[in-house]
Amino acid sequence: MNMTTTPVPSRFLPSNNDLGVVAVAFSGGQGKAGVDAGPDALIKAGLLLQLQDDLSYKIHHDGQIHNYRDLMPETDPTVDNMKRPRGCSAVNQRLHEQTYEHAKDGKLVLTLGGDHSIAIGSISGVARAVRERLDKPLAVIWVDAHADINTYETSGSGNVHGMPVAFLTGLCKHEIFSWLKDEHQIPLTKLVYIGLRDVDSGEKKILRENKIKAFSMHDIDRHGIGKVIDMALEYIGDDIPIHLSFDVDALDPVHAPSTGTPVRGGLTLREGDFICESLHETGRLVGMDLVEVNPMILAKEGGADTWQVTETVRAGCSLVRCALGESLL
């Protein structure tokens, strides 16, 4: 271990298998219906029972799948190229409080989405707790086909699920999101991407100009997933807690077809699980998001129980179990 770094105090780390769960039925960060049904599909597939019975977690879940309808404005017109900005902001502000409440007593926090815009709230809430308890920033490993680092100025779609990293790192600020405080930001030097293969040209410029660490599918092909994880963890350093934000579209559509923006040429099931297992092994994982499971997306092709939905939900459950300590032997 590098002698100049202070290890993360164990009093912070999730030690007693307490797991805070927040289920977020939100789809307003993008335009396709159905991603709000993701958490229900994951929970109905038995995810929380598996975590409790097989992995011995004490689950702290309010039993709800939050749609935050009380927070939704009646009309939510586009502002500065952001679609449904007020709903996105209000949901994330509430979610921020929910993940913060769990993380502040040292619980590991699992957020089930929902589209990826919800990482604005889930991650900033965990980052706030880490800052208060440890006076350290939070590192984020963002596993995704996409960089989700558009600002409202660079975004071609106007969908906020393509912007969460820009908000979380402070590259993008907006008065509608004024509750998001600078001190809960993720430093650009503590952010690592894995799995990228569909990055917009404006995003490439942002990645280059800010020297953001990113391992694309090309890098995974070249080095193998084991080496890529080693390099990612070395880059972050061994002295801070880690949040894993896993967009199911990082997996190849062969394994996770039921998602809104699938991109060919992605991770295998084992590569995805391996990333999660490796982060569990660090002992420094304090939060995880699993997002963009959309059980409705291919349903029109033969009812909601198509093999595509089953496979995607199974893959999502497996990723979470691996991040929370399931091992092969």
Ligand X SMILES: NC(=[NH2+])NCCC[C@H](N)C(=O)O
Neighbours of 153 (CB within 10 A): 10
Q: Which of 66, 84, 86, 116 binds ligand X (CB under 6 A)?
A: 116
Pairing relationship of beta strands 18-24 and 108-112 according to DSSP bridges: parallel
Q: Give which of Mn ion, ligand X, none residue 162 binds (C-beta under 5 to 8 Å, depending on kind).
A: ligand X
Q: What number of other Cβ atoms are within 10 A of residue 126's Cβ?
A: 30
Is 74 in the active site? no
Question: Shortest approach of ligand X to residue 275 CB, angstroms?
Answer: 17
Is residue 162 involved in binding ligand X (CB under 6 A)?
Answer: yes
| 112-131: contacts with Mn ion (CB under 5 A) | 116
Buried b (16+ CB within 10 A) or exposed e, 311-320: bbbebbbbbb
Q: How far is CA 100 from the centre of its chain?
A: 15
Is 174 an annotated catalytic residue? no
150 contact choice in ligand X, Mn ion, none (CB below 5 to 8 Å, kind-dependent): ligand X
Site for Mn ion contains 144 (CB under 5 A): yes
- From the list Mn ion, ligand X, none, pick the one residue 155 interacts with, judged by a Cβ distance below 5 to 8 Å according to partner type: ligand X
Is residue 203 within the footprint of Mn ion (CB under 5 A)? no
- Taking CB under 5 A as the binding criterion, the range among 4-12, 34-42, 110-118, 185-193 that sits at the site for Mn ion is 110-118
Among 115, 247, 271, 326, the active-site one is: 247
DSSP 122-150: HHHHHHHHHHHHHS-PPEEEEESSS----
If the CB atoms of residues 203 and 247 are measured against Mn ion, the closer one turns out to be 247
Please tell me whether residue 84 binds ligand X under the rule CB under 6 A: no
* 115 annotated active-site: no
Concerning whether 66 is annotated as a catalytic residue, the answer is no
CA 205 to CA 202: how far, in whole Å? 5
What is the C-alpha end-to-end distance of the chain, expressed in Å?
Answer: 27
Place of tokens 């994982």: 285
d(CA 322, CA 50) in angstroms, rounded, equals 11
* Tokens 């499971």, located at residue: 293
Q: Which is nearer to ligand X, 49 or 254 (CB)?
A: 254
Kindly list the distances between the CA atom of residue 132 and the CA atoms of 100, 137, 199, 281, in Å, as whole numbers in the listed order: 10, 10, 34, 25
Verify whether residue 80 is a known catalytic residue. Answer: no
Residue 146 binds ligand X, judged by CB under 6 A:
yes
**Helices assigned H by DSSP within 105-248:** 119-134, 164-169, 201-209, 217-223, 225-236
Binding segment toward Mn ion, per CB under 5 A, in 137-145, 174-182, 274-282, 298-306 = 137-145
CA atoms within 13 A on the CB side of 63: 0
Least distance to ligand X, CB of residue 30, Å? 7
257 CA to centre of own chain: 18
- Using CB under 6 A, which of the segments 66-74, 154-162, 180-188, 296-304 binds ligand X? 154-162
Q: Does 249 bind Mn ion (CB under 5 A)?
A: yes
Q: Which of residues 245-304 bind ligand X (CB under 6 A)?
A: 247, 249, 261, 292
Contact residues: ligand X, CB under 6 A:
116, 146, 148, 150, 155, 157, 159, 161-162, 200, 247, 249, 261, 292
Q: Which positions are annotated as active-site residues?
A: 116, 144, 146, 148, 161, 247, 249, 292
Question: Which residues make up the interface to Mn ion (CB under 5 A)?
Answer: 116, 144-146, 148, 247, 249
